[in-house]
Chains A and B, each alone.
Chain A
Amino acid sequence: MYQSKWRIFTNHTILILGALFMIMPVWIAFASSTHTREFIFQNGLQFWPGGHMIDNYGAILFDPSATKGRVTALEMLFNSMVLGLGFAIGKVIISMMAAYAIVYFRFKLAVPLFWVIFSTLLLPLEVRIVPSYEVVANLGLLNTYTGLILPLIASATGTFFFRQFYRSVPDELLEAARLDGAGPIRFFIDILVPLSVTMIAAIFIIMFVVGWNQYLWPLLMTTDDQLYTIVIGIKQVYNSLYEGGQIPQFPKAFALTIMATIPPVLVVVIFQRMFIKGLVETEK
């Protein structure tokens, strides 16, 4: 297709500006996280990295006092990993199974149960946060991984993704499988699951990022800092920045922010093709 030189030039200029708009805040946070707190306090945010990267990141990762609690960033990263993986695995398994029942079976309660699942879309966790907290407290699940992960799984998004996908699977497969004498469980494990591998991977990636980035629920749930995820850790460190009349520990807060950002960004960039396919095809 013909493009004028001017158009090509403006295209690149605009895209570079757009990329800078996205990257600049993160880059400045990174560069500023590699200076001493005195330097940042006196000179403001920095564009060029300084020489204290290893000191700052080392302290955050291994020294609990640097994160203002009894827990290091390394432990927070571990908690975030548990939340991200637990959420993604739980969501994929549970929604695959539920969608299978809805699409492939004729049973009495199919319609009412479908509407129960659908209704979860009407009331996101943010809206029913107070009673959800009470329920989890009543069950004695505060400050546990179970209490952290399960309520987040109680939503239908994954089920709808898989429902959509199953409906696009040709009916002939089921007919052929039945002719060969395969029962419903056999068909699910030997045919449907292998067919869904790309879909599972795509949803898994999306859900991992969503789980890792959870904020409000972990914030309420985890009063014990041993369970802090790194996203919650940021808020705690940020809240205590101005405490005690000391020079605010901006570089370490930035270091924590960078560390919270790297894992999900890496996942999304590395599995880019799969991730985009999953996002675009499932949400439509």
Chain B
Amino acid sequence: MKRVQFEHSAVPYLFIAPQILIISIFFLWPAAQAVYQSFLLEDAFGMSSQFVWFRNFEDVLSSASWSRSAIFTVIFSVLVAVISIAISLFLAVRADEVIRGAKSYRTLLMWGYAIAPPVAGLLGNMMFNPLMGDLYKAFNSFGFEFNHIQNANDAAFVVILIAVWKQVSVNFIFFLSGLQGIPKSVQEAATLDCKSAERRFWTITFPLLAPTTFFLLVINLTYAFFETFGIIDVSTKGSPGGATATLVYKVYVDGFIGADLGGSSAQSVLLMIMVSVLTVFQFRFIERKVHY
């Protein structure tokens, strides 16, 4: 915090009021409702509801479809984060080394940040369309019996590929600026000591990038959790049989399409707990890393 501050009774409240007002109406109120509804059981017509304590949570936690979705979400998130980080790091190291065309490469690799997740989903859907998709045809002509419409693993592959494709740019931007932050003198000293570029990377560059990598890991996990909704909704819609539905997608499907308010709210609350853990983790880490 600042050493010097204003001491004023009304002004700070005036400045903070708009944000607090919006948060109260559009965040606190719905969040409280989610918690409240997670304890209610509505009848089939939505006419009456009764307080059932933790029954919704018990139902959710014991349902096969939720645990299946939870397992998928974890595997999906880890794979998306690790693969996209690995690809971007590889590209960023190379982009940091080139001298000729460095700016063009940067532009060509970073613009993907601006792609909306459903647009990425649609492009993926197009490439894997059984009628005309180039990748679908390519995979099958190589002898894979690729069928993402019926095979759960193939469908997961499609969603992961799209999610990775969409995320490479963001990671690339962070890695490239991380690499450019490493002093040239350090790199030159390393070059004198060690001819092998690969060894230089693992002993010098990668440890220096560790904070960036860790930060990106958290960012990517959050992305895979929440922002892939648009990708899934436009590509697989969670099919076949919910095999590619992440937890967030399931909240939406159960709440809006299935109209199971209690169950959906209980899922929301469970997700809230998971996200809290992730966020506190991220926040503590960031606060520790940045020195003012």
Contact = CB atoms under 8 A, between A and B. Distances in A.
Interface of A: 1-3, 7-8, 10-12, 14-15, 18-19, 21-23, 25-26, 28-29, 32, 40-41, 43-45, 93-95, 97-98, 100-107, 109-110, 113, 116-124, 126-136, 139, 150-151, 153-156, 159, 164, 167-168, 171, 174-175, 178, 184-185, 187-188, 209, 212-213, 215-216, 220, 231, 234-235, 238, 250, 253-254, 257, 260-261, 264-265, 267-269, 272, 276, 279-280, 283-284
B1 to A, nearest CB: 7
Contacts of B33: 131, 134-135
Nearest to A118: B283
Interface in B238-276: 248, 251-252, 255-256, 261, 264-265, 268, 271-272, 275-276
A171 B111 CA distance: 37
B114 A267 contact: yes
A260 B116 contact: yes
Interface in B107-156: 107-119, 122-127, 131-134, 137
Given A18-B91, A29-B126, A231-B118, A151 B16 contact: no
B64 interface: no
Interface stretch (B47-55, B67-75, B167-175, B202-210): B167-175
B25 interface: yes
A127 B219 contact: no
A280 B177 contact: yes
Contacts of B276: 122
Nearest to B1: A103
B91 A14 contact: yes
Chain A residues touching B, majority SS: helix
B45 interface: no
Contact of B187 (A1, A212, A238): A1
Contacts of A120: 23, 27
26 contacts: A1-B187, A22-B168, A44-B131, A94-B18, A97-B19, A103-B2, A104-B2, A105-B5, A106-B7, A123-B268, A131-B30, A134-B33, A135-B30, A150-B25, A153-B26, A154-B22, A167-B1, A220-B256, A231-B230, A238-B125, A250-B132, A254-B126, A261-B116, A264-B116, A265-B111, A269-B107
A141 B234 CA distance: 26
B8 A105 contact: yes
A175 B197 CA distance: 51
Nearest to B19: A98
Contact of A175 (B4, B118, B134, B261): B4
Given A44-B134, A102-B16, A130 B108 contact: no
B94 interface: yes
B43 interface: no
A21 to B, nearest CB: 7
B248 A126 contact: yes
Contact of B173 (A117, A150, A279): A279
A284 B290 contact: yes
Interface in B16-47: 16, 18-20, 22-23, 25-31, 33-34, 37
B229 A15 contact: no
B230 A216 contact: yes
Given A12-B101, A15-B94, A234-B119, 6 more contacts: A1-B188, A102-B16, A133-B256, A136-B26, A213-B119, A264-B116
Interface string B86-104: 0100110011011001000
B229 A130 contact: no
Q: Which of A118, A124, A139 has the most CB of B within 10 A?
A: A124
